[in-house]
Amino acid sequence: MRHRRSSSSFLRSAVAVATLAATALVAPIVPSDAAPSPVASATRTVPLTGIDARADAAAVRAAGPDVTVAAVSTAVPVGRSSVVGVSWDDPAGPTHSDVTDVRVRTRDSGRWSAWEELGVNEGHGPDDGTAEAGSARAGSDPLIVSGADDVQVQVATSSGRVPPKLELDLIDPGASAADRESILPRATGAGVRPAIRTRADWGADESIAGTPEYGRVDIGFVHHTAGSNSYSSGDVPGIIRGIYAYHVKTLGWKDIGYNFLVDKWGRMWEGRAGGMDKPVVGAHTRGYNARSFAMSVLGSYNTTTVPTAVEDAYTSLFAWKLSLSLVDPMGTTTLTDSDGYPTKVFRNVSGHRDFADADKSTECPGDSLYNRIDTLRPRMRAAQGAMFYRPSLNRTAWDYGATGGATISAAVSKALTWRLEVRSVCRDTPVTTRTGTSTSTALSATWDGRIGSAPAPPGRYTLTLTATSGTTATGTATPWRTTVTVGDAVGAPPGYCPPRVGGADRFAVAAAASREANASTTNVVIANGQDAAMGDALVSAPLARTKDAVLLLTNAAGLPTATRAEITRRGARTAYVVGGEGSVSQTVVDQLRSLGVVTVQRFGGRDRYGVAAEVARAVAPLGAPDVFVASGKQDAMADGLVTSGPATALRRPILLTPPTTMAAATSAALTELGVRRTVVPGGPGSVSDEVLAQLPSPTRLGGASRYAVSVAVAQWATRSGVQGSDVLASSGSQTALADALSGGQLGRQLFYVRSAGVPAEVATELDGRANLSRVTVMGGEASVPLLVAGRLQQSVLE
């Protein structure tokens, strides 16, 4: 197929890849004068079935002798349409079309324009193999026709046949009061985010947009849309809506293809959704979208002189956008595309035509604009101000005590004064800082891996590089962050982060806790780990200790993957199931047997109170003068869970009671076990005073909150002989209590913390323990964030 150079530019989407986006100074986004609102567009389609008998002979001859014309329309009224395009179905896919040429001309006040060739298969549209490509329809580039009276289209194909469902698409963008706003000042101020109008400002109908994907930004592509340059300022929102509707509704893309657009007055507009400061994958330069962004100027710039305002807009937008990814506008990048296009070395600011090869070409962004790019690149670099470009790290990990540390190397825009802050991921303040100066071309910043005179303890550290060259907004470089790891070694001191028992989910956390409790036993206790069935699991940890077993969690209907894997790893032979079949089904029992478990014993009951009583008899077959009695109320489980560790350490049963009445099963168990003393966690809201009065010699361990209760239980445990130097911490959130549940089998005191920080009463208790040697966090970073864990570790270190 022949590929002609086109005067337009178009769009596509690509697979997202991971990226690190740095922060930058920003300026406010320009608001609209009138309140904008979403505007729905309408598409009018005109079928093209061949050469219309009403088309004049000149329209047919205009294609030239070497082109096989398949379809020519008659003059079609434009009406309120702002954008037109031609689309068709192609079994071979949009990138392998039989269509070779699409030409359009417009009539205004009785005079026809010259024929303009629209791009076909010239680097636009979603990447092959992506979900977006799977729904895409073949089509030409769109053409701006604002102000025209009529449009006529001519389509040529290599076969001479009309492709299926060939049609002329005319987009009426609708209207909004916000379209008629005055021209606002264009962006000024280098090194900051320029003034950019939002999607809301041009009336984007967000109901038709798809989910954005993210890649990285290494290159910025310069485009033009082609079409009329005679639009008014009030036409612009409608033109953008028209392009948006053509891309989404006609061609089947997920969103408008460009990341940004700019009009001839230099006003910049947000394009594809997903965040202007984020590396949103667009649909503008086929094969290279996942590592680039693009801005397109509305109109055609083949011969038209580029307005100064447009040049200024490209300068400020590209300077800012590239600075977020620490990219030098004067540099180059090697890209490998995803559509079979060649691996190419691009200038970091390139014209759309630079993507092309001999078979796939385009005139975009027009000769006039393309010829200005060499002039714009140094202006973009100057606008960025203080910058270091694409820093690299010579090493990301070493063991405690090893020499060398890590060195960051980067090119720079000018001589800079730099600062390198080193933070533990569990501290919000630097543990050490290094400073220095660069040359005018290069920077080298080294952390020697030491804090003061000593090697940094094991753990993860964030290195943040900043630099300045003055006091203006552009005198501060965009920061760059990376992470290094100091590995553990014999004789290494504790790090800034505490040890953590974590996992992908609550079942994996329980499996990890079981390995810490007893890595080799072939006995397991199986309890339901879901929130609604937590009462059975709450009483299970003392049973595990009594049976020389570990506690694992399950779903009612089947064993989770992590639990199955742990049972298999252990070669478990005996399982103690806690709860009736509504809590742990017969299917689970069958699965246990299929994994090699020989003996299964179930501890059931009519309800959670009966189950707790059965478990208590197994924990203390000879009787128990001392037991814990916790609330069986669902939203009061947190109080009972903190007794699980001490109960396990002391080998004492845990019974449950309703908040306001004594359960018959609990009363019977108290008598049968010969209980003389009871410990009750929680206040009257968990276990009422009326119930407390029915218990043998009760001791209430209450507090104003579950956090205070955890402290009260821990203090009691210390007085009762449970060691308090090696403790646990877990989230007190209702949705994360399963982590505390899993920690009970370790037989340690447990303290609740918040996701926002360590409660004052917990911090006071831990800080005051002179013998505190370790706090182990139960659960992942989503439950107990790193900075919260770091505050817990401070109690150990300081």
Alpha-carbon distance of 245 to 80, in angstroms, equals: 14
- Specify the range with the lowest mean pLDDT, choosing from 102-106, 257-261, 654-658: 102-106
Domain-located, residue 652 = yes
Look up residue 723 and give its two tokens: 């060691």
Alpha-carbon distance of 754 to 758, in angstroms, equals: 6
Closest C-alpha among 328, 324, 332, 333 to residue 214: 324
Q: What is the tens place of the pLDDT at every residue in 342-400?
A: 788 999 999 998 887 544 567 889 899 999 999 999 999 999 999 999 999 999 999 99
Q: Do residues 509 and 557 share a domain?
A: yes
548-557 CB burial, b ≥16 within 10 A, e <16 = ebbbbbbbbe
Closest C-alpha among 55, 63, 69 to residue 99: 69
Domain-located, residue 739 = no
- Specify the range with the lowest mean pLDDT, choosing from 82-86, 134-138, 316-320, 389-393: 134-138
Output the pLDDT for position 94: 55
Q: Computed from CA positions of residues 763, 765, 771, 772, in that sequence, does the dihedral angle turn out positive or negative?
A: negative
**Which of residues 100 and 195 earns the better pLDDT score?**
195
Q: Supply the DSSP symbol for 408.
A: E
Domain-located, residue 20 = no
Closest C-alpha among 485, 766, 541, 528 to residue 776: 766
* End-to-end CA gap in the chain: 74
Domain-located, residue 529 = yes
Report the relative pairing of strands 219-224 and 292-297 from DSSP bridges: parallel
**Which of residues 271 and 8 earns the better pLDDT score?**
271
Domain termination residue (choose one: 384, 412, 439): 384
Q: Where are the beta strands (DSSP E) in 395-475?
A: 397-399, 406-412, 417-424, 432-437, 442-447, 450-451, 454-455, 459-468
Domain termination residue (choose one: 341, 369, 384): 384
Distances from the Cα of 52 to the Cα of 84, 101, 159, 162, 548, angstroms: 19, 17, 18, 12, 89
- The H-assigned helical ranges of 40-198 are 57-61, 131-134
Q: Computed from CA positions of residues 465, 470, 472, 475, in that sequence, does the dihedral angle turn out positive or negative?
A: negative
Distances from the Cα of 493 to the Cα of 400, 772, 790, angstroms: 9, 15, 15
Q: Do residues 69 and 157 share a domain?
A: yes
Q: Do residues 509 and 478 share a domain?
A: no
Closest C-alpha among 233, 293, 220, 303 to residue 263: 233
**Which of residues 217 and 33 earns the better pLDDT score?**
217
**Which of residues 9 and 408 earns the better pLDDT score?**
408
pLDDT of 32 strictly over 80: no
Q: Do residues 344 and 231 share a domain?
A: yes
Q: Do residues 380 and 392 share a domain?
A: no
For residues 539-566, give the mean pLDDT.
98
Q: Computed from CA positions of residues 48, 49, 53, 58, in that sequence, does the dihedral angle turn out positive or negative?
A: positive
Q: What is the tens place of the pLDDT at every residue in 444-454?
A: 999 999 999 99
Report the relative pairing of strands 349-351 and 219-224 from DSSP bridges: parallel
Domain-located, residue 534 = yes
Q: Which long-range contacts (CB under 8 A, 24 or more apart) does 695-703 make?
A: 695/629, 695/670, 696/670, 698/629, 703/761
Q: Which of 41-45, 56-60, 235-239, 725-729 has the highest mean pLDDT?
A: 725-729
Q: Do residues 325 and 202 share a domain?
A: yes
Q: Do residues 379 and 393 share a domain?
A: no
Alpha-carbon distance of 656 to 668, in angstroms, equals: 12
Output the pLDDT for position 26: 38
Q: Do residues 674 and 705 share a domain?
A: yes
Q: What is the tens place of the pLDDT at every residue in 180-191?
A: 654 444 443 335
Asked if 311 and 376 count as a contact pair (C-beta separation under 8 A), the reply is yes
Output the pLDDT for position 20: 30
For residues 135-160, give the mean pLDDT.
87
For every residue of 351-404, DSSP letters joined together read EGGGG--SSS---TT-HHHHTTHHHHHHHHHHHH-S-EEEEEES-SEEETT-S-
pLDDT of 674 strictly over 50: yes
- Specify the range with the lowest mean pLDDT, choosing from 2-6, 175-179, 303-307: 2-6
Domain residue limits at 565: 500-709
**Which run of H or E residues covers position 789?**
helix 786-797
Alpha-carbon distance of 729 to 726, in angstroms, equals: 10
Residues in the chain: 798
Alpha-carbon distance of 443 to 417, in angstroms, equals: 9
Look up residue 60 and give its two tokens: 């047919």
For residues 399-417, give the mean pLDDT.
94
Q: What is the CATH number of the domain that holds 377?
A: 3.40.80.10
Q: What rounded mean pLDDT belongs to the chain?
A: 89
**Which of residues 766 and 798 earns the better pLDDT score?**
766
Output the pLDDT for position 702: 96
Closest C-alpha among 769, 777, 776 to residue 795: 769
Alpha-carbon distance of 674 to 697, in angstroms, equals: 12
Closest C-alpha among 298, 307, 301, 365 to residue 146: 298
- Specify the range with the lowest mean pLDDT, choosing from 339-353, 476-490, 623-637, 699-713: 339-353
Cα–Cα–Cα angle for 84, 260, 218, nearest 5°?
Answer: 125
Look up residue 438 and give its two tokens: 């660069």
Model confidence at 691, in pLDDT bands (50, 70, 90)?
very high
Q: Do residues 198 and 306 share a domain?
A: yes
Output the pLDDT for position 128: 65
State the SS3 of 78-108: CCCCCEEEEEECCCCCHHHCCEEEEEEEEEE
β-sheet bridge partners, residue 450: 455
Q: What proportion of the chain, given as a percentage, has pLDDT over 90? A: 72
| Residues whose CB falls within 8 Å of the CB of residue 483, separated by 6 or more in sequence, listed in order | 396, 425, 460, 461, 462, 463
Q: Do residues 401 and 326 share a domain?
A: no
Tell me the one-letter amino acid at 131: A
Closest C-alpha among 18, 32, 148, 138 to residue 86: 138
Model confidence at 81, in pLDDT bands (50, 70, 90)?
confident
Output the pLDDT for position 466: 95
Model confidence at 798, in pLDDT bands (50, 70, 90)?
confident
- Specify the range with the lowest mean pLDDT, choosing from 139-148, 290-299, 569-578, 771-780: 139-148
Closest C-alpha among 347, 258, 243, 363 to residue 303: 363
Q: What is the tens place of the pLDDT at every residue in 473-510?
A: 678 899 999 999 999 999 999 999 999 999 999 999 99
- Specify the range with the lowest mean pLDDT, choosing from 34-38, 204-208, 612-616, 744-748: 34-38
Q: What is the tens place of the pLDDT at every residue in 459-469?
A: 999 999 999 99
Q: What is the tens place of the pLDDT at every residue in 714-761?
A: 999 999 999 999 999 999 999 999 999 999 999 999 999 999 999 999
Q: Supply the DSSP symbol for 764.
A: H
Q: What proportion of the chain, given as a percentage, has pLDDT over 70? A: 88
β-sheet bridge partners, residue 466: 419
Output the pLDDT for position 38: 87
Output the pLDDT for position 7: 38
Q: What is the tens place of the pLDDT at every residue in 224-241?
A: 988 889 899 999 999 999
Domain-located, residue 715 = no
pLDDT of 59 strictly over 60: yes
Output the pLDDT for position 2: 34
Domain-located, residue 15 = no
Model confidence at 122, in pLDDT bands (50, 70, 90)?
low
Output the pLDDT for position 63: 57
Model confidence at 272, in pLDDT bands (50, 70, 90)?
very high
Q: What is the CATH number of the domain that holds 451?
A: 2.60.40.2550
Q: Where are the beta strands (DSSP E) in 610-697?
A: 626-631, 654-657, 677-681
Query: Three-state SS for 139?
Result: strand
Output the pLDDT for position 19: 31
Output the pLDDT for position 25: 35
pLDDT of 655 strictly over 70: yes
Output the pLDDT for position 30: 46
**Which of residues 242 and 186 earns the better pLDDT score?**
242
3-state DSSP percent of the chain in helix, strand and coil, to 5: 25, 25, 45
pLDDT of 217 strictly over 80: yes
Cis peptide before 365 (omega within 30 of 0): yes
pLDDT of 564 strictly over 70: yes
For residues 613-637, give the mean pLDDT.
96
Q: Do residues 233 and 347 share a domain?
A: yes
Output the pLDDT for position 502: 96
Model confidence at 92, in pLDDT bands (50, 70, 90)?
low
CA 149 and chain centroid, separation: 47
pTM for this entry: 0.81
Alpha-carbon distance of 540 to 578, in angstroms, equals: 7
Burial (CB < 10 A; 0-12, 13-18, 19+), residue 297, is buried
Q: Do residues 378 and 258 share a domain?
A: yes
Distances from the Cα of 503 to the Cα of 626, 729, 731, 739, angstroms: 34, 15, 14, 10
Burial (CB < 10 A; 0-12, 13-18, 19+), residue 680, is buried
Asked if 727 and 792 count as a contact pair (C-beta separation under 8 A), the reply is no
Cα–Cα–Cα angle for 387, 390, 391, nearest 5°?
Answer: 90
Domain-located, residue 568 = yes
144-161 CB burial, b ≥16 within 10 A, e <16 = bbbebebbbbbbbbeeee
Distances from the Cα of 701 to the Cα of 204, 372, 629, angstroms: 59, 77, 11
Output the pLDDT for position 298: 96
Look up residue 83 and give its two tokens: 């954008």
- What is the tally of structural domains in the chain? 4
pLDDT of 6 strictly over 70: no
